[in-house]
């Protein structure tokens, strides 16, 4: 997992402009909402890179390279970009109502949404 604290590129009385990603190809962008205490993820991908941008709220993000590695945990919030490389396990728990955009490069769009999603067992789950 890599966390990027995005910066404001431009600001005036009309608002702000913020680059979220550049020079990165994506196949799909997905809008995801969380209610407080909701858990999402608890899966991994074999072929898909995932870029999650937090629009609002605050979440705990946990990742793990595999069952032999330690769990990594970080709190992410609005403006953070989280990059999940495959095959890292990943999951989120919302500390408050939250919104993210998940951009992916790999077989994750439309009817293929579950083709490269591998659910963790109850024993493997990060939350």
> Where does 18-97 show beta strands of DSSP type E?
28-34, 39-44, 49-56, 58-64, 72-77, 80-84, 89-94
- Whether 112 maps to a domain, the answer reads no
Share of the chain above pLDDT 70, in %: 100
Q: What is the mean pLDDT of the chain?
A: 94
| pTM summary value | 0.90
- Whether 77 maps to a domain, the answer reads yes
Domain with 32, as residue range(s), is 2-6+26-107
- Whether 40 maps to a domain, the answer reads yes
Cβ-contact 91, 42 below 8 angstroms: yes
Alpha-carbon span 32 to 77, nearest angstrom: 14
pLDDT tens sequence across 11-40: 999 999 999 998 888 988 999 999 999 999
- Whether 85 maps to a domain, the answer reads yes
Higher pLDDT, 81 or 109: 81
- Whether 41 maps to a domain, the answer reads yes
How many structural domains comprise the chain? 1
Average pLDDT of span 109-113: 76
């Amino acid at each position: 997992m890599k966390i990027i604290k995005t910066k404001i590129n431009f600001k005036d009385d009309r608002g702000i402009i913020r680059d979220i990603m550049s020079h990165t190809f994506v196949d799909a962008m997905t809008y995801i909402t969380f209610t407080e205490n909701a858990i999402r993820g608890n899966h991994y991908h074999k072929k898909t890179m995932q870029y999650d941008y937090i629009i609002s709220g605050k979440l705990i993000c946990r990742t793990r390279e595999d069952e032999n590695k330690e769990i990594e945990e970080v709190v992410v919030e609005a403006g953070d970009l989280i990059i999940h490389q495959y095959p890292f396990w990943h999951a989120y728990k919302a500390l408050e109502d939250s919104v993210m955009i998940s951009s992916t490069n790999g077989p994750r769009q439309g009817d293929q949404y579950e083709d490269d999603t591998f659910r963790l067992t109850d024993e493997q789950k990060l939350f």
